[in-house]
Amino acid sequence: MNSKLLVTAVLTFLAATAAQATPFNGYIVKVKKGSNFLSSKAVSNYGHVTKIAPTSFGTFGRLETNKGLSDKAMQTLANNPEIEYIEPNYIITINSDKASPMDAMFGKQWGMTNTGKNGGIFSPGVAGEDINVAKAWDITKGATGDNTVRIAVIDTGVDYNHPDLKGQMDVNLAELNGKPGVDDDGDGFIDDIYGYDFANKDGDPADGHGHGTHCAGVIGASHNSIGVAGVMANVKIVAIKFLSDAGSGETIDAISAIDYGIKRKVQVMSNSWGGGEKEQSLLDAITAAEQAGIVFVAAAGNESSNNDSTASYPANYDVSNVISVGAFTSQGAKSSFSNYGLKTVHVTAPGSNILSTTKGAYANMSGTSMAAPHVSGVVGLLLSQEPGLTPAQVRERLVRTSTQTAKLKSASMSGGRVDAYRALMNQ
Ligand SMILES: [Ca+2]
Ligand SMILES: [Ca+2]
Ligand SMILES: [Ca+2]
């Protein structure tokens, strides 16, 4: 009787964590009267009890683990006759201040919150030169994103098993629960659970390079107490690989990648790649995405050149859904490598010395490649709040609500840096 209730409680908790990653520190275990489970050897199979609270309404322990508990471990503990229940030990903050993510490395993410000290070894940074996203997260509705927003990372793949990304992926359940080697959902792609790999023509978009995983982390690394925090706490990332593990690819595969994103009904495509000349096929693919209402965010390029006079593709395709993104440093200046252009680069975002997820780890990377996913994340936040916006309206909003600065005046059309808070508030 009792155990049935406990199982329900566990399942409720699992559903809750899937919906939103609320930060917590270990687990609260309530033991039954007279139990010495908290000081027993059995508990060490799961972690360490670092706090015991004996109260008038029962005895509770804080169980800390290195990696969190698996669903199976939660179930086993919930079924233990000595335990009344187990649940996450949520972090509680005062209501008047912003709820900063508790992620261990968040303090190093200057692009999210620039403290003037976290810009890196060579440049401590200037406080406030960031995308103002912590303030955006304070707005209640849609402020940390929405699980209905799907963002395609079109790149070298994504490490979908990364502890900071595995809960953030868009999972094709028909394939997950289907048969290997069979196209279970009949979409034309075999075993495409997390996305697809157009470089190797298979259903596994794992990232052998690290670049795509870095971009994915900027957009949506889990707000979970470990590692880094993405612009969006709630998001569904689709991994679309067309660049090889060496970091290069072909247009033919790029257009397949875009087509696949349209089929997966993503709202945003994040593109941190470029090269080649103007091509009709790529223009057609981007136009098809536009007609499907998809925002196409593109890195402006890393040649330090003016895109108004020397076009960089795909950023320079003149389609209303393309948002071309240049990069700025922790000092608020245009990154030296970043392309610029008052007419053809729309906005700028953090791109120098950016900490994010990489293949099984974390690393700093620099490039307009890092700036673009910051913008993809902000677009995701905006579409969570206002799902009816057209790509052209999204672009106009980001340009108009950017915070203008003297240092970025001639870097892009916006004359400043993307501001998540102002974009969401439309001010
Ligand atoms: Ca399929
Ligand atoms: Ca299958
Ligand atoms: Ca995290």
Considering the domain boundaries, does residue 413 fall inside one? Answer: yes
Cα 153 to averaged position of ligand 2 atoms, centre (Å):
22
Burial of residue 50 (CB within 10 Å: 0-12, 13-18, 19+) is exposed
Cα 171 to averaged position of ligand 2 atoms, centre (Å):
12
Give the residue from 172, 241, 177, 161 showing the smallest Cα distance to 209.
Answer: 241
Q: With 0.85 as the threshold, say if the pTM is over it.
A: no
Average pLDDT (124-136) is 93
124 shares its domain with 64: no
pLDDT band at 68 (very low <50, low <70, confident <90, very high): confident
Q: Taking each helix axis from N to C terminus, what angle separates 280-291 and 251-263, rounded to the nearest 10 degrees?
A: 10
State the pLDDT at residue 390: 98
Q: Is residue 246's pLDDT more than 60?
A: yes
State the pLDDT at residue 73: 87
Instruction: Work out whether strand 58-64 and strand 416-417 pair parallel, antiparallel, or are unpaired.
Output: unpaired
Q: Is residue 10's pLDDT more than 70?
A: no
Cα 203 to averaged position of ligand 1 atoms, centre (Å):
8
Q: What is the CATH classification number for the domain harbouring 162?
A: 3.40.50.200
Cα 201 to averaged position of ligand 2 atoms, centre (Å):
14
Q: Which amino acid is at 355?
A: L
Q: Taking each helix axis from N to C terminus, what angle separates 368-385 and 391-401, rounded to the nearest 10 degrees?
A: 110
Q: The tokens 């009890």 sit on which residue?
A: 49
- Structural domain range at position 130: 106-425
Active site residue 162: no
Considering the domain boundaries, does residue 98 fall inside one? Answer: no
Query: Rounded to whole angstroms, how far apart are CA atoms 426 and 87?
Result: 38
Q: Which ligand minimizes its atom distance to the CA of 178?
A: 2
Q: Is the sign of the CA dihedral 139, 144, 146, 151 positive or negative?
A: positive
Active site residue 211: yes
Please check whether residue 352 is in contact with residue 329, taking contact to mean a CB–CB distance below 8 angstroms: yes
Q: Which ligand minimizes its atom distance to the CA of 176?
A: 2
pLDDT band at 3 (very low <50, low <70, confident <90, very high): very low
**Percent of residues, the chain, with pLDDT higher than 70:** 90
Burial of residue 402 (CB within 10 Å: 0-12, 13-18, 19+) is buried
30-34, 226-230, 411-415: least confidently modelled range: 30-34
Cα 232 to averaged position of ligand 3 atoms, centre (Å):
11
Q: In Å, how far are 3, 168, 224 from 17, measured between CA atoms?
A: 21, 11, 10
pLDDT band at 11 (very low <50, low <70, confident <90, very high): very low
Give the residue from 241, 253, 309 showing the smallest Cα distance to 279.
Answer: 253
Considering the domain boundaries, does residue 242 fall inside one? Answer: yes
Q: Which ligand minimizes its atom distance to the CA of 192?
A: 1
67 shares its domain with 118: no
114-123, 230-239, 259-268: least confidently modelled range: 114-123
Domain count along the chain = 2
Q: Which residue has the higher pLDDT, 290 or 69?
A: 290
State the pLDDT at residue 241: 96
181 shares its domain with 39: no
Please check whether residue 409 is in contact with residue 415, taking contact to mean a CB–CB distance below 8 angstroms: yes
Considering the domain boundaries, does residue 154 fall inside one? Answer: yes
| Catalytic entry in 211, 223, 346, 374 | 211
